[in-house]
């Protein structure tokens, strides 16, 4: 069953679904690009790893034990002995301990065959990249490193929630963004800013000057992933999307899903 949305499906931004979608997109982009880039270039799937402490992380194995109050009972055979009962022991309160989590984020690198020179980096932003913390710090450092070199950068943001990556004209408002920044055109880059009702725009993958650049149709790949992975079997369109939609988008989504017979 195809996705009911013409562009990005906001239900796939759910925290339980997006990590899987992120992996799917990394692999499918690599699969699509590889035959078009051979034999001059190869596509490498890389993984960035770091540890962070999430507020909603749970400690596994907290013992489910309650210590009840204890009180001494006088012996009936010792009626003349005064017994003082100790103060009741306070019962414990269950707390959640912040635990370090190992985060693995995939990304793609296009490298020149023979020299292994890095030509283009393709990043798909994750939720940890868009909120304060180690994930964003590490990604911003990586981003600055790429932008300070001659390497091309493709940055794909399919998440409504969180703080968008910075650039000088930050007054551009949109649900989603794709940034194509060529190493020989800096400080300029091409920003594809689009909203929920829009089809995800296609773009040319930047390579070395003079090379034929493949066109990446992210919408087509996303539609294939939706079908192959069976997202229609797990998404409940009778419920509201998570993260929540704006009022205008919620009205549009409700009308669209009613038209598709999903509400």
Query: What residue ranges do the domains of the chain occupy?
Result: 10-52+99-235
193-212 pLDDT, tens digit each:
999 999 999 999 999 999 99
Percent of the chain with pLDDT over 90: 71
Distance CA 157, CA 126 (A): 8
- In the CATH hierarchy, which top-level class contains the domain 10-52+99-235? alpha beta
Closest CA to 3 of 248, 157, 175, 218: 218
Which DSSP letter does residue 10 get?
Answer: G
Rounded to 5°, the CA angle 187-188-189 comes to 125
Sign, Cα dihedral of 45, 223, 229, 10: positive
pLDDT band at 59 (very low <50, low <70, confident <90, very high): very low
106-156 pLDDT, tens digit each:
999 999 999 999 999 999 999 999 998 888 999 999 999 999 999 999 999
Whole-structure pTM value? 0.82
Distance CA 213, CA 208 (A): 9
Q: Which residues pair with 216 in a beta bridge?
A: 203
Length of the chain, in residues: 263
Q: Biggest alpha carbon distance in the chain?
A: 105
Could you give the 3-state DSSP secondary structure of residue 104?
Answer: strand
pLDDT band at 78 (very low <50, low <70, confident <90, very high): very low
Distance CA 5, CA 77 (A): 81
Q: Work out the average pLDDT over 56-80.
A: 40
């Amino acid at each position: 069953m195809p996705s009911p949305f013409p562009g990005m499906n906001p239900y796939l931004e759910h925290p339980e679904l997006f990590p899987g979608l992120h992996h799917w997109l990394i692999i499918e982009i690599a699969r699509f690009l590889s035959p078009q880039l051979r034999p001059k270039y190869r596509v490498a799937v890389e993984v960035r790893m770091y540890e962070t402490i999430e507020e909603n992380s749970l400690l596994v194995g907290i013992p489910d034990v309650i210590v009840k109050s204890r009180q001494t009972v006088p012996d009936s055979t010792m009626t003349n002995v005064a017994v003082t009962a100790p103060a009741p022991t306070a019962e414990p309160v269950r707390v959640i301990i912040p635990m370090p989590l190992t985060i693995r984020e995939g990304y793609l690198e296009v490298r020149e065959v023979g020299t292994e020179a890095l030509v283009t980096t393709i990043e798909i932003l994750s939720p940890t990249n868009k909120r304060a913390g180690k994930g964003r710090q590490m990604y911003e450092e990586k981003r600055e490193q790429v932008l300070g070199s001659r390497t091309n950068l493709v940055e794909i943001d399919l998440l409504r929630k969180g703080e968008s990556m910075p650039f000088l004209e930050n007054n551009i408002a949109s649900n989603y963004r794709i940034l194509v920044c060529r190493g020989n055109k800096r400080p300029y880059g091409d920003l594809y800013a689009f909203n929920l009702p829009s089809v995800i725009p296609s773009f040319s993958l930047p390579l070395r000057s003079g090379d034929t650049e493949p066109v990446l149709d992210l919408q087509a790949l996303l539609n294939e992933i939706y079908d192959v992975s069976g997202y229609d079997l797990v998404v409940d369109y009778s419920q509201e999307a998570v993260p929540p939609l704006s009022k205008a988008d919620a009205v549009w989504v409700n009308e669209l899903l009613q038209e598709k017979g999903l509400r």
